[in-house]
Amino acid sequence: MKQALQARQAQTLNLTPQLLQTIRLLQLTAPQLEMELRQALERNPLLESQLVEDEAEDDAPAADAAAQECAAWDELPEPMFLSAGGHAGDEEATARIAAGESSDWRQRLLALLALQWRPHALAMAAFWLDHCDDRGYLEHDVQALGQRGATELGIAAEELEVARQRLLHGEWPGVAAADPGECLRAQLALQPTGRARELASRILSDHLELLAAHDAAALAGALAAGEDDVHAAIALVLSLRPHPVEAVAADSGHIVPDVVAWHAGGKWRVALNDAVLPRVRIAPHCEQALADAPGQHAALRGLLEEARWLVRGVAMRNETLLRTTQVLVERQRAFLERGEEAIAPLTLKEVADAIGMHESTVSRITTGKYIQTPRGTFELKRLFAVRLEGAQVGAAAVKAMVRRLIETEPANAPLADDVIAGLLARQGVRIARRTVAKYRDQLDIPSAPARRAQPRAAVA
């Protein structure tokens, strides 16, 4: 073996503590940033609170300096350790917007199964998923669906049931379950064998009523087991997911907007909300004193450098938030003026290209930030929309169309999901029946038979 020396040239990004701090500041929400700056004020005596009227002369130089010293920070990926406690809500959905991946969990699961399942089996999986609600449960009786699928696909009902069992115990345990009990049993089958799993299986099969009543003593008697074993089994059951596909929890807390948008002079204007925007700066007399004493007070000079990075990072965060919001408002002005049906498809990449930054920067700066508009206050993420395949509209606009069609339907003849899909197709929007059903469920609108059986006011 011959040994030789080779010279290679490569570019790397050194993640200094200051750079990491700048990245983290970018994605902090207003309450998180306020807490961060309060702690910095207590920790660093060279910092002081800044009045709003003083910001004009200080922000521009700070933002320019930060832009020069942190030119590459927006090229970084989105690692979990930089999340700084950000929203867990729909962060994954925005990542899918950037990657061009479907926001429908059925499509994502099918794409995953396509790597392992044969086309024939994949078609059977698609049939079962097509008849699941947004939680992952089957919408109708298993046997009835099995007979219908066997007729549609030209196969035996037993073969179709085998595909359902593969789904049930596959990549996402519990998917295509007939009821919560079957869903939980499928998840339980993946747990390590032992006394707790055995008792948990018996509880799910025969004693769900006692479990729901939280009657551990009665369960111990029914299972002929000790209370410690029963409590371990109950804990195992409670650790399972109640639904195969977990819904995103809604945030019902009080929201204060980070940005305000309004229409004046024939155009849309955007400004940061000064009421929630914390301001800090370096105390001028301290900075001047250190400048007049070069070579001395090394500890104070370290604090001064830390303060400069903090001020520059906050200035860049605010500037990036404002520029990003300006692009979002300009691209979605039709939505702000006319409503949900006018929202345009918009991705992270399109906004990133408009402001000259990376997609990860846009993702960070829009997570957990809220905008106040004449149409209400909502998260900036809402101004992004996935483009439906083969259409020039986004999913949010189609959802609004579904709502309008149902609200204007005849009271004695509610529109079925396939009829709504047909009406949308006439408008150039082609979506599947299951997509209509998904949007209807997200809007908390019952199915056509349920709407026919209830008063009209309950639907609207």
Q: What is the pLDDT of residues 113-160, one digit of tens each?
A: 888 888 899 999 989 988 888 888 898 899 999 999 999 889 999 999
> What distance in Å separates the CA atoms of residue 39 and residue 36, rounded to the nearest whole number?
5
Question: What is the overall mean pLDDT for the chain?
Answer: 76
pLDDT tens-digit series, residues 14-51:
556 666 667 778 778 887 888 888 888 888 888 887 75
The full set of domain ranges for the chain reads: 16-80+254-288+296-385, 105-238, 395-455
Single-letter amino acid code for the residue at 406:
I
Architecture, CATH, for domain 395-455 = Orthogonal Bundle (1.10)
Q: Mean pLDDT highest for which of 91-95, 191-195, 260-264, 432-436?
A: 260-264
pLDDT tens-digit series, residues 356-408:
988 888 888 898 889 999 888 888 988 887 665 555 566 667 777 778 788 88
Burial of 420 (0-12, 13-18, 19+ CB in 10 A): buried
- Nearest Cα neighbor of 214 from 197, 201, 230, 199 is 230
Average pLDDT over residues 192-221: 82
Beta bridge mates, 47: 282
- Nearest Cα neighbor of 286 from 267, 258, 261, 311 is 311
Q: Which helix (H) or strand (E) holds 285?
A: helix 284-291
Name the residue with tokens 């997911």: 241
pLDDT given for residue 1 in this prediction: 56
What are the residues whose beta carbons fall under 8 Å from the beta carbon of 249, sequence distance 6 or more? Answer: 89
Q: Evaluate if residue 300 carries a pLDDT over 80.
A: no
Average pLDDT over residues 296-308: 76
Quote the pTM value: 0.49
pLDDT given for residue 8 in this prediction: 63
User: What is the CA angle 254-256-262, rounded to 5?
Assistant: 130
The helix/strand count (H/E) of the chain reads as 23, 6
pLDDT tens-digit series, residues 200-211:
888 888 877 787
pLDDT given for residue 327 in this prediction: 94
Burial of 156 (0-12, 13-18, 19+ CB in 10 A): exposed
